[in-house]
């Protein structure tokens, strides 16, 4: 296993027409969730992801399990549990590709996770533990599970990758900030959006964000800026890379997860910090041109083609 992640996957109900949720009569069932999207992105990019989670013992849970396994995600540490329904959320998508999310994930199956679900042998062979702010926002219990997973990962020498991914529909800013500040000293790679950096640190110049996060002990800091590209620092050099122009912007959900997968997979393949930033930018731009949570996550060769490193024959 190259990278391990943990989190709650859920059924994504994707609208069959654009506009307000109340005006959409039909939805298409898909699988989603920040951590699952990340794992699928890594698998398509050629690294081996493992996923730790619980799913409801229902048809939705079985669908997500089969979907993840079919995408090449290791699901040996995903279990079905009784007494919990697999989480669901509905998407509202507007004509410019922006969207809103409406969650129905109370009583999440991940509340059944315990320390016994985190096996030392599973962590021992991995290189990175990737966590996000979504999973701990669902329930207080999940915060404890993240802290335990980080402790175990540190024990076995894994790098800790973290995307704050702040969802204020799930917890308050005060709760989010308290938890995030508590784990930042253990984070090796921070992958945050510019808006989230401002939420955590207040309004300041981009270079100051990098310096502030380094003060917590974070070795590699990346600030995702969407259409403006990304900026990052490895404590020695600041890299400011331009965005890769997407073919079209039809759905922005999952772009950040794809960026994370692109950056981590690139580092795991031995690429430099700057190369990883460029690669991640390309992945993010490709995701927004396809509708769905993870449908736009590209394969490694497709990213190489976008970056001009590989010529693909279309016909």
**Beta partners for 174?**
none
Residues belonging to the active site: 257
Choose among 251, 255, 305: nearest CA to 284: 255
């Amino acid at each position: 296993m190259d990278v391990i992640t943990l989190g709650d996957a859920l059924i994504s109900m994707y609208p069959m027409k654009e506009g307000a949720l109340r005006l959409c009569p039909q939805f298409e069932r898909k699988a989603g969730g920040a951590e699952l999207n990340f794992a699928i992105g890594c698998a398509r990019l050629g690294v081996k992801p493992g996923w730790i989670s619980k799913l409801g013992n229902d048809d939705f849970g079985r669908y997500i399990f089969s979907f993840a396994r079919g995408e090449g995600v290791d699901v040996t540490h995903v279990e079905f549990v009784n007494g919990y329904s697999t989480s669901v959320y509905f998407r509202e998508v507007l004509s410019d590709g922006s969207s809103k999310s409406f969650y129905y994930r109370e009583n999440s199956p991940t509340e059944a996770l315990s320390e016994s679900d985190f096996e030392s042998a599973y962590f021992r062979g991995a290189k990175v533990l990737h966590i996000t702010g979504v999973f701990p926002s669902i329930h207080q219990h999940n915060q404890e599970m993240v802290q335990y997973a980080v402790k175990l990962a540190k024990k076995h020498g894994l790098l800790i990758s973290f995307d704050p991914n702040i969802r204020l529909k799930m917890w308050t800013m005060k709760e989010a900030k308290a938890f995030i500040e508590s784990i930042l000293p253990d984070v090796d790679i921070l992958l945050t959006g510019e808006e989230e950096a401002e939420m955590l640190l207040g309004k300041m110049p981009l270079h100051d964000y990098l310096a502030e996060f380094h003060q917590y002990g974070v070795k590699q800091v990346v600030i995702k800026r969407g259409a403006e590209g990304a900026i990052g620092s490895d404590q020695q050099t600041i890299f400011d890379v331009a965005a890769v122009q997407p073919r079209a912007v039809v759905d922005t959900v999952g772009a950040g997860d794809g960026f994370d997968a692109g950056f981590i997979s690139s580092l795991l393949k031995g690429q430099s910090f700057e190369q990883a930033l460029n690669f991640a930018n390309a992945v993010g731009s490709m995701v927004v041109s396809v509708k769905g949570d993870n449908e736009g996550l590209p394969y490694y060769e497709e990213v190489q083609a976008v970056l001009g490193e590989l010529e693909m024959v279309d016909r």
